Structure 1
């Protein structure tokens, strides 16, 4: 189901709670909402649709990937940039890393680990800021 985009900064600034198998429908809604906004959005976190769970979905070089409980376990190559967001107005400064190693669970709650670089890494970091309650 396509959900409304949450713009409530109180909700957006709360740290997300761990996701479990009961949150698969939230992940499906998040993915459907992201696809609906594909012309102006490359990634979303669950709190952007009003659900305070640690779930992100993003464009992974042409196909969508959903992560449950993602965390960065290694990072390198810091840089400064500006980013926009469907939930927040305007561009905001952000410190990002060129390369990140991420540990997460897939939809079957099997652990995965992968290194992401460049634009994809930046998208993931933006969404993980949402999970941490960081308003970029």
Structure 2
């Protein structure tokens, strides 16, 4: 990563109280800057709906860990991480109740930071398709 580190336009977003809103069907671009600085997002989810959360590396410089918290802001529901640098982190989530869930996005490894460590965070509705099993 280059030595330069200019905070993105979403800052400040370093705590749950500063979380940026990301609605279903939306996306936000950010970077891992400054070092050891998590980015927080507020996800308004609807009970009974399925969602896909996807953090894509833009330009190959980012690798992230995603942690989803319940509306109580303290219960960790699940986490996912990029398998390697430049690869996406994603997970599927079924919302058991309506509310604003919190998503913490942070660098996969300590020291990963810089203006070139860019990501795009996407939240979309997910359709679950069950294929039939054929036995012969």
Q: TM-score, normalised by structure 2?
A: 0.30
Larger relative CO (CA 8 A, sep 6+): 1 or 2?
A: 2
Structure with a larger share of its residues in helix: 1
Instruction: Give the alignment's TM-score, normalised by structure 1.
Output: 0.30
